[in-house]
Chains A and B, each alone.
Chain A
Amino acid sequence: MRQSIRGLGWAITISTLLLFVFLITAVYSVFQTLASGQGIGLDGLRINFSDNRLVLSIPVTVNNTGYYDITDFEITTMLRDSDGRTLSSSSSTIKEIKKRSTESRSHNLSLSLTDIFSNLSYLLSRDTEFRIDFSVKFRYAYALGFNLAMTNMSVPWGAPLYGLALKEPGLPKFNGTHLTIDVIIEVENHSFFDVNGNLNLKIYNEDDVYIGSGRGAVNIPRGSRLSGPVETVIQVTNPLDFTGEGYLEVYLELPMFAQSFELGRVNYG
């Protein structure tokens, strides 16, 4: 019995020592890997915009310089509006990064502007801020789990149609078949993309009789205000109804948002 107890004692002592050695080397190794500055590299945020989709792309490089493997490496990002509603979320996983090896992956967060603006139309005309939650989690040496989460990171949002206001147009020019009107709109594009669209007009005389409709092109480069009036050409269906006075119904059609916005009525003449 004494020999059995002694054997058990030695087994416990050796196992405890091995456990401590493993724990110390694993913790040292993981902190050494992270502290080296090259362990987990997030090489800047890239923004791509195409087909009404905004793609935020973060190239991720994991350089495992430690003594043990990294497994189940997962990056998660969640984009929320200022009221906390989730706009988009995404996860990227690297199954395994062997010791002394490097793995790279691009983590993408995709946003459909059409979906966002149809649900949150205030984002068109109001500057606000988004919130990003970012987390990195992984297992080290198959035994230790690490999770680093950064929540409530603020990202400014610039409205593409900031301060949109319709002003009284200039006097219409009539050539017998067509009307040309300079529509004055005050708007600033605070967003990071160019706004291109059409201004659609319906013209009525002072007796509410429909005279005709037309359109003019609107181009507002990013970070700038609409320069000058929008020249619109209106085909007059019945020239006799044009009296030189009345009102316009103005709509802004933005193909990138797949919808038309009613800007309101404005008198002319």
Chain B
Amino acid sequence: MADVKEKERTAKDWIKILLPKILRAAVWGFIMGGEMLILIYIAEAGGPFLKLIPIEQESLSYLLVVFVGFEVAIQLLYGTIFQYALSITRALISMIALVFMTNGGIISITLQRSQEIPIPLGMSIIFAIDFKAILGAWLLLSSLSIVKNLLQAIEFLSEKEEEPAIPPEIP
């Protein structure tokens, strides 16, 4: 019966099903890091913006690309078990990446003499921020998020056990 229904679907029907998902994925991708990626790659806007973030541009770009990629995939696979698997993976990757990128919660900037910084020769200025407590809180919340996604996945599977079916929008 379901096969008959599938066969009856036209291209228009598929667009109706997929378009909202793609739009939703695009919007969430933009919210969850896309806007920062755009800021980084627009030189005029990204220049002053990046100066405020004491992390290498390349590392930040990679993290954002991964984050946006995961978000788009999660939104496209919304309503499937993959949504939870990807959410857990994303949380794990972001936890590990953040710990490595921030040197365990201590960011240090060393300023040497240059044309922009006319400090005396031989002198250096070191500025360090220790935000281990904030990073700890973030890791705790990420761990809770993993637990939540696991529980959601278990619930999703238990519901599917009762009503086994592949979501109609997945071809």
Residues of chain A whose beta carbon lies under 8 Å from any beta carbon of chain B: 1-2, 4-5, 8-9, 11-12, 15-16, 19, 22-23, 142-154
Closest Cβ of chain B to A6, distance in Å, is 9
Q: Give every chain A residue within 8 A of B129 (Cβ-Cβ).
A: 144-147
- Whether B125 lies near A143 (C-beta < 8 A) is no
**Whole-angstrom distance from the CB of A196 to the nearest CB of chain B?**
34
Interface range for B? 20 to 34
Which chain A residues border B128 with CB–CB below 8 Å? 145-149
Q: How far does the alpha carbon of A19 sit from the alpha carbon of B144 in the complex, in Å?
A: 14
Chain B interface, >50% SS class:
helix
A144 touches B131 (CB 8 A): yes
- Cβ–Cβ contact A147 & B151, under 8 A: no
B4: Cβ under 8 A from any A Cβ: no
User: Is the CB–CB distance between A150 and B125 below 8 Å?
Assistant: yes
Give the interface of B toward A (CB within 8 A). 120, 122-134, 137-138, 141, 144-145, 147-148, 151-152, 155
Question: How far does the Cβ of B28 sit from chain A's closest Cβ, in whole Å?
Answer: 15
In contact, A19 and B138 (Cβ under 8 angstroms): yes
User: What is the distance, in angstroms, from B86's C-beta to the closest C-beta of chain A?
Assistant: 16
With beta carbons under 8 angstroms apart, the residue of B134, B141, B145, B155 that contacts A2 is: B155
How many A-B residue pairs have C-beta atoms within 8 angstroms? Tell me.
Answer: 75
Could you tell me if B126 and A148 are in contact, using CB atoms closer than 8 angstroms?
yes
Partner of B130 from A1, A5, A142, A147 at Cβ < 8 Å = A147
CB of B150 to closest CB in A, whole Å: 10
Residue B141 contacts which of A5, A16, A22 (CB distance < 8 angstroms)?
A: A16
B127 to chain A, nearest CB (A): 5
Query: Are A5 and B120 also in contact (CB < 8 A) when A145-B130, A151-B126 are?
Result: no
Task: Indicate if the CB atoms of B133 and A152 lie closer than 8 Å.
Answer: no
B127 touches A12 (CB 8 A): no
Q: Is the CB of A143 within 8 A of B131?
A: yes
Closest residue of chain B to A143 (Cβ to Cβ) is B133
Partner of A152, one of B124, B137, B145, B147: B124
A152, B122: Cβ atoms closer than 8 Å: yes
Smallest CB-CB A-B distances: 6 pairs: A145-B130, A147-B128, A143-B133, A149-B126, A152-B123, A152-B122
Measured CA separation A154–B124 after assembly (Å) = 11
